[in-house]
Amino acid sequence: MSIPDVPFARPRVTVATVRLLMAGTLLLGACHQAPPPAPAPSVETVVALPSELSPWTGTLASALRAAESGRFADAERILTDFSLEHAGSADGAESDFWRALLKTDPANRAVTPRESMALYDSYLSGGRELPRYAEALILRRVVEAMDSTRSLLATVRQSASAREKAREEEIRRLLDEVDRTTAELERIKRRLIPKS
């Protein structure tokens, strides 16, 4: 069965129809309001009062500048003063940690490992809740190991020096004995030579 060929009828668009569609679109657009803009996120700003600011950052910077220029005594004084003024505070404990750390610096030749270990022990006595407890414990062990190695090396050097001295004394004694024996042989030789 075939479909009869029917001419396609186009709908007639009149000016009135277009005007009606445009008016409807405008009315629908007027009824539909855009959602209000989202409020701007509020950021709470906390302003620290001058009495709440800690001088620790500036103190540490001053101490590190002194240490970097080789003035370890000045760095020690700066940190000790701060530690005493802020005893019992987190910043005071931080100052004690940095005192120990600067005494660990190999460039700080005026300090013994024992002094450094004593400062680490003092810091560690504050307990495991201290922020740098693990670091201080590790550094204290490193200083102790270095001190043990240094002591062992000094003992080995002293022992080697004692052996060297004993060897030199033995060589001197043997040379003296050779000289005496040579002199005695010369005397015997002179006696044995017949006098003419």
Q: Which candidate, 136, 50, 58, 62, places its Cα nearest to that of 93?
A: 136
Q: Give me the mean pLDDT over the 46-53 stretch.
A: 56
* Interval 75-119: pLDDT, tens: 999 999 999 999 989 899 999 999 999 999 999 998 899 999 999
- Higher-pLDDT residue of 103, 24: 103
Residue burial 32-55, b: 16+ Cβ < 10 Å; e: rest: eeeeeeeeeeeeeeeeeeeeeeee
Whether the per-residue pLDDT at 59 is higher than 80: the answer is: yes
Q: Which of 25-39, 56-70, 107-121 has the lowest mean pLDDT?
A: 25-39
* Interval 148-190: pLDDT, tens: 887 777 788 888 888 888 888 888 988 889 899 898 888 888 8
* Interval 142-152: pLDDT, tens: 999 988 887 77
Q: What angle (nearest 5°) sits at the alpha carbon of residue 50, between those of residues 46 and 56?
A: 100
Domain ranges in the chain are 57-149
Q: Tell me the two tokens of residue 115.
A: 């002094």
